[in-house]
Amino acid sequence: MFQDGAILRLSQPFLNLVSIPPVWQACGANPAGLPLLGLPQTHVCNDPVQFAERLQSLLPVRTCDALQRHQPFQVLSGGLRIGAITVISNWGSGICGRVEGVDEAQLSVPYQGVGHFDVGGRRLDNRAGSTVLYLPGGDWQVSSDVLAGVVLRLPRNAIAKVRQGMAGPAAPREPTGLLESPQLLQYDQPEQAALFLSLYRALALLNAATMAGGTLPESLRQDDLLLRLVGLLLGPLPSEPSPPRPSGRSEPIEALIAWIEANCHRPLSLSDLERQSHYSRRSLQYAFLQRFGCSPMQYIRRQRLALAQQRLLAPLPGTTVTSVARNCGYLSVASFRRDYQQRFGESPSGALRRLRP
C-alpha cells in the first residue's frame, strides 16, 4: 500500500508500447504501461474523496466513489498540459461517478478493463484493446472495473480547425454534428487500426520526451500531432480535390519553402504548413514528394540539421552537442549524431571541437 500523497518513481518508463495487446489482465497489471506515471509529479491517492478533489481542477466532478468499497483504494495519477490539450493518466482501483457541465471534448483511451459510460440515455462500453470513446462535453456517468487509461481533453473548435486544415480550403465545410455527438470508435478496420497504433506511439513519444528531459521540446509539436490523430479518428475528412500535378516551379510551394527556411528555428507542425500554404494534407505531401523526394517534416528535419551545423560551427558559450540536439527536436543524442554524420560527413562533436577556440 502506498502512503497517501506519496510520489512514485517508476523504474521502467513507457518506451516500448507501440501496439495494443489483444488481452489485458484485469488485476495486478504493471502501471508502467501508461505514460506520464514515472514523472516526479505523479501522485498516489488512497481515498476516492481525495481523488475526486484532485479531479476537480480538471473536471466538474459531482460524485466519485470506489467501485469495490470492501477493497483498499489506490489510484496513481499524472498529467501534462500541451498547448490546448491536457493529457491525464490514471491507474488503479475501479471507480464510479458522475461529471456534469464539461466544456471541452474528451477522448478516453483505455489501457485495461472496461469503462461503462451513460451519456444522454445511451450506454457506451469502452473496452481496452478494441475502442476509444469520444465525448463532446456535457454530462456523463462512468463505472469502470479498473481505472487504467489515458484521457485527452481538448477544445472542439481546435479539432474542427485541424480537420478543416487537413482537408484544405477548397474542401466543403463539414457539419458541426460530428464533434457534438458521443462516438465509440472501434478499430476493426485496417485504416482505423493504423490510426490507433499511431495514437499509442504518439503517447509513447510523449512519455519518452518528458522522461528524457523533464520537459517536452516545443519543436516536437506533440499537441498538433495528437489533435490531428483525434481529428482523423473521428471520421473521414471532407472531400478534398485530388493533388495537383505541378508543372515547373509552383509559387505556393516556393513561398512555403522560403517561409520554412526563415522559421525552422521555431516549432513547426504540419498544421502550420497547411495554413501557411493553403494546401490540403494530401496536396502538401504530394508537392514535397515531387520536389524533394521526402515528406514535409523530413524536409524540415534537413533544414534543422543545417541550423544545427551553423550553431556548432559558430558556438555560443555553453553550447554542447546535447543542447544543440535537443533544440533541434532530437530526443536521442545518438540519433542526432547519426543523422548529422550522414548529412555532413563528420560528427557533431568533431565540428564543435574543430572551431571552438
Question: What DSSP element (H or E) covers 26?
Answer: none
Q: Give this prediction's pTM.
A: 0.80
- Give the domain-ending residue among 199, 232, 263: 199
CATH number at residue 302: 1.10.10.60
Distances (CA, A) of 192 to 8, 165, 227, 239: 35, 20, 16, 18
Domain assignment of residue 4, yes or no: no
- Give the domain-ending residue among 166, 182, 199: 199
Asked whether 227 and 55 are in contact (CB, 8 A), the reply is no
User: What is the predicted pLDDT for the residue at 182?
Assistant: 95
Domain assignment of residue 187, yes or no: yes
**168 and 100 within one domain:** yes
Q: How far apart are CA 142 and CA 145, in angstroms?
A: 10
**82 and 138 within one domain:** yes
**176 and 43 within one domain:** yes
Domain assignment of residue 171, yes or no: yes
What is the per-residue pLDDT across 150-201, written as a single tens digit (0 to 9) for each? Answer: 999 999 999 999 999 999 988 888 877 889 999 999 988 788 888 999 999 8
Domain assignment of residue 1, yes or no: no
Q: How far apart are CA 227 and CA 259, in angstroms?
A: 23
Residues pairing with 148 in the sheet: 91
**175 and 52 within one domain:** yes
Q: How far apart are CA 246 and CA 255, in angstroms?
A: 15
Determine phi and psi for 347, rounding to 5 degrees.
Answer: -80, 155
Domain assignment of residue 282, yes or no: yes
User: What is the predicted pLDDT for the residue at 356?
Assistant: 55
Per-residue pLDDT tens, the chain, 357 aa: give them: 222 222 222 223 332 332 333 332 333 344 547 888 877 778 888 888 888 888 887 788 888 999 988 888 888 888 888 889 999 999 889 999 999 999 999 999 998 889 999 998 999 999 998 999 999 999 999 999 988 899 999 999 999 999 999 999 888 888 778 899 999 999 887 888 889 999 998 998 888 878 766 666 676 788 999 999 999 999 988 876 555 554 445 667 899 999 998 888 788 899 999 999 989 999 999 999 999 999 999 999 899 899 899 889 888 888 899 888 887 777 678 888 999 999 999 999 988 887 555
Strand extents, DSSP E, 27-137: 43-45, 61-66, 75-82, 85-102, 105-110, 114-119, 122-127, 131-135
Domain region containing 113: 31-199
**169 and 70 within one domain:** yes
Asked whether 101 and 154 are in contact (CB, 8 A), the reply is no
**144 and 42 within one domain:** yes
Residues pairing with 64 in the sheet: 97
Domain assignment of residue 279, yes or no: yes
Domain assignment of residue 236, yes or no: no
Asked whether 181 and 128 are in contact (CB, 8 A), the reply is no
* Counted domains in the chain: 2
**176 and 118 within one domain:** yes
CA dihedral sign of residues 200, 336, 214, 7: positive
**286 and 181 within one domain:** no
User: What is the predicted pLDDT for the residue at 299?
Assistant: 94
Determine phi and psi for 9, rounding to 5 degrees.
Answer: -110, 120
Asked whether 22 and 62 are in contact (CB, 8 A), the reply is no
**128 and 270 within one domain:** no
Q: How far apart are CA 74 and CA 55, in angstroms?
A: 15
What is the per-residue pLDDT across 308-352, written as a single tens digit (0 to 9) for each? Answer: 998 898 888 888 998 888 877 776 788 889 999 999 999 999 888
User: What is the predicted pLDDT for the residue at 77?
Assistant: 87
Residue with cell 504540419: 270
Q: How far apart are CA 230 and CA 39, in angstroms?
A: 25
Domain assignment of residue 134, yes or no: yes
User: What is the predicted pLDDT for the residue at 69?
Assistant: 83
- Give the domain-ending residue among 141, 165, 199: 199
Phi-psi sector, 269: left (phi>0), alpha (psi -120 to 50), beta:
beta
